Amino acid sequence: MTYIPKPAVRHPGLGANELGLHLRDYEGTISTLCAGCGHDSVTAAIIQAFYELSIPPHRIAKMSGIGCSAKTPAYFVDEAHGFNGVHGRMPALATGANAANKDLYYIGISGDGDSLSIGLGQFCHAIRRNVNMLYVLENNGVYGLTKGQFSASADVGSRSKRGVPNKSEPIDPVALALTLGATFVARGFSGDKQQLLPLLKAGLMHKGFAFLDVISPCVTFNDHVGSTKSYLYTRHHGHELVPVDFVPIRSEISASYEKGSRTSITMHDGSMVRFRKVPEDYDPTDRLSAYEHYRSLQNRGEVVTGLLYLDPGGEDMHDDNATTSTPLAEMAYEDLCPGSEQMDALMEEFR
């Protein structure tokens, strides 16, 4: 929290994107989170991602529930649409909004408390429905907003600030997303933007449910010695399994990568995810292989990061349900509501 607004000046050496917008045009109001919060860093990466992808602010919908993490949509892309709902219900809100207007870019911001406790069921069903959205889980192992109680993602043995170890088994959102059929599963770290940025960009451009778990340390309640979600612990135990670059379709360099090759995967719109290095025995498009590999590294005590699984198939909830090509939000009232005559006729059929 600071008392002055961020000065309205920008570096003249930083250009504009394809829309003529500057990086700073994608900012929101100034953050009220604790100084040093990982969430603020994720926010900065999201701003960069939208800017670099030249997505028009009014085509973005920011969805969230409750938590420090859930507050962050206020801190990026001021001019986007947004809905801040009740605790853990962001997935349902995003699903509904997406059902009504499938043409927006949906980004949902949640926390480990929001997604893995009160909202666990919601989270699972959004994956199951394959809602076309980027779901970012800012994972700090605690309920930050309510002052640092362990959340469901806290590791066994991780100690609270007062030194009490956690005894409950954690729910691992990455493993969960992999088993529930998410079509894009990744993990990043707020302290490594170089890795986080391409993950965000690929997740935003992915069609279908993209899940991105971001280890995002809580400086106030969970950045001490003994915590397994601190900056230092994450840096010491981080294992970047599959580093990627995201190559947007508009970018000229996309031509220099071979389509369909093992190290670059073409997405539904022709943009490309390029894997910089993939271990020998690992296929990021094979869910089973991804799961096995992930689990084995995790058992060795490593915090696995990178784009772990990708199904570039390009289907989503609307394809599954064969909805109309025109978003409901753009249809005329008459088309949306057939009127009582038609309804009566329909009812007749079931008599």
Count of helix runs (H) and strand runs (E) in the chain: 12, 13
What is the spatial distance between Cα 170 and Cα 116, in angstroms, rounded to a whole number? 9
Binding-site member from 25, 40, 52, 112 for ligand TPP (CB under 6 A): 112
What is the spatial distance between Cα 208 and Cα 206, in angstroms, rounded to a whole number? 6
CB of 63 to ligand TPP, least distance (A): 14
Binding-site member from 112, 213, 240, 311 for Mg ion (CB under 5 A): 112
What is the spatial distance between Cα 159 and Cα 224, in angstroms, rounded to a whole number? 9
Binding-site member from 22, 81, 87, 268 for ligand TPP (CB under 6 A): 87
Triad 184, 215, 270: Cα angle to 5°: 25
Which residues make up the interface to other proteins (CB under 8 A)? 1-11, 13-14, 24, 34-38, 40-41, 43-44, 190-191, 193, 217, 219, 223, 231-232, 235
CB closer to other proteins out of 116 and 214: 214
Helix (H) or strand (E) holding 105: strand 105-111
- Are 216 and 113 spatial neighbours (Cβ–Cβ below 8 Å)? no
What is the spatial distance between Cα 173 and Cα 178, in angstroms, rounded to a whole number? 8
Binding-site member from 25, 114, 172, 311 for ligand TPP (CB under 6 A): 114
CB of 329 to ligand TPP, least distance (A): 29
Identify residues 32-71 at the interface with ligand TPP (CB under 6 A): 66-69
Helix (H) or strand (E) holding 108: strand 105-111
CB closer to other proteins out of 155 and 192: 192
Our finding on whether 248 is near ligand TPP (CB under 6 A) is: no
Helix (H) or strand (E) holding 61: strand 60-64
Our finding on whether 111 is near Mg ion (CB under 5 A) is: yes
Residue type, 166: N
306 binds, among ligand TPP, Mg ion, other proteins, none (CB under 5 to 8 A by kind): none
The binding site for Mg ion (CB under 5 A) comprises: 111-113, 140, 144
The binding site for ligand TPP (CB under 6 A) comprises: 66-69, 86-87, 111-114, 118, 138, 140, 142-146, 151
